[in-house]
Amino acid sequence: MSIRRSGFFPPLAVLLLFFTAVPMMTTQAAEDAAGLREVFELALVYDDAWSAAQARARAAAESYPIARAGLLPSLSATGTLGRTHRETDQAGQELSREYAQDTLRLQARQPLLNRERWMRVRMAQRDADIGGLELDLAYQDLIQRTVNAYLNLLQAQEQRALVQAEIDAIDAQMQQIKRMREGGVATVTDVYEAQARLDLARAREIEARNLQEIRRRELLKIIRQPVGMIKVLGEQAGYERPIPYDMDAWTQMASDNALEVQAQKLALERAGFNVDRARSQHLPTLDGVAAWERFGNSDLGYARDRYGRVSLELHVPLYMGGRISAETREARARFDQALDESELTRRESELKASSAFLELSSSLARIEALEQAVRSSEVALQASEISLSVAYRTFVDVLDAQQQLYRTRFDLLGARIEYVRAMVALNAAVGMLNEDTIDHIDTWMETF
């Protein structure tokens, strides 16, 4: 609720506030006001946490080709080149000679049977999939952080505008009290009461100004760009019930589709593959090997010797000091841990969805009640002004009615902001939070 779009003001002196009390934005300021979509585009470019998440996802994607390389052919080449000095004692006669040696070896190896490496490949595939889901989670987190930072700044900006409008209204009321005091109508108590209200409002304005600067810097941390005024929630924003309007349905969607739940399911599968990998180290492995070697030694009477060999290499682990058994027990314990964490994540996702749904429903009810309260407060303020003109009410009554109106407007703004937060949280809880949500909220924004 922006005070810049307020509706009814009472007659007499307060009627002038419709034109003077509320700080209107200039045309240039209106054009420069940033919308949520514009802020989010900057966050996509400049947010450090999002950049780090993208780097993590790229790193996780490489785990699969790294593991797959263990199943593909490998080719290696080794070579040596040396010179040997040899001394011998033969029939009491010492002989010495020098000769050169050189070797060149090429070897190709293809794993034919190696279950442990196959399991590593399947684990790596799950690592890559989890990395992709974690990137999606980071994207959702970026949306939530950006929306919350924007709304925090919006709330602080509007709170300052409301306080400033209240200051102007009280000041105008006090000037009227002073004039009526000079005419002998108002009392000195009325003047002191108005001055006290004005001083308190000015103190709140200082607090609101500091809070606005803090919120602006919180948003600056995400987008690394200075932000002045931002667009505000429109009066006709679509505060509607979620479809379906059934908490159990949203809870079930969270249980099935939440990104955290999907990531934990993949982690559970990976833990199962790890158990198989650890156990399979007891199994024999078989490799196909093809080698070609060239050997030269001038001391043997020939310059070069070349030969090639194709073979099968069988490796059977017999005893590894208990390492394989220990790794298998560890992997089984990790699987049990992943199973419990999977259930815990599912329950937490259900709780997030139900909490967001209830908050959304509560916000809708509060918005409806507070909209009526604003209308009632406006009528009450009007009645107080009219009653003051016929001496049925005092200036203190008018000041109380003004203060009640501004507090109710700020409460209404808070309820509308909480509705947006709850809507974003509900979409995140069921894995449906994306840029469409940003665009949808941005249609509710108005410059003034």
- Helix axes of 36-46 and 435-442: crossing angle, nearest 10 degrees: 150
Query: What are the domain boundaries of the chain?
Result: 3-73+114-283+323-446
- Does residue 428 have a pLDDT over 70? yes
What per-residue confidence (pLDDT) applies to 306? 85
Token pair of 230 as six digits: 């931002």
Q: Which residue has the higher pLDDT, 94 or 29?
A: 94
Nearest to 431 by CA among 142, 133, 39, 145: 133
Q: What percent of the chain has pLDDT over 90?
A: 51
Query: What percent of the chain is predicted at pLDDT more than 70?
Result: 85
Task: Identify any residues that bridge with 96 across adjacent strands, giving them in sequence order.
Answer: 87
pLDDT of residue 446: 77
- 378 touches 1 (CB < 8 A): no
**Pairing mode of beta strands 302-315, 232-233:** unpaired
Q: Assign 11 a pLDDT band (cuts: 50, 70, 90).
A: very low
CATH code for the domain defined by 3-73+114-283+323-446? 1.20.1600.10
Determine the pLDDT at residue 396: 66
Q: What does the pLDDT average to over 103-113?
A: 93
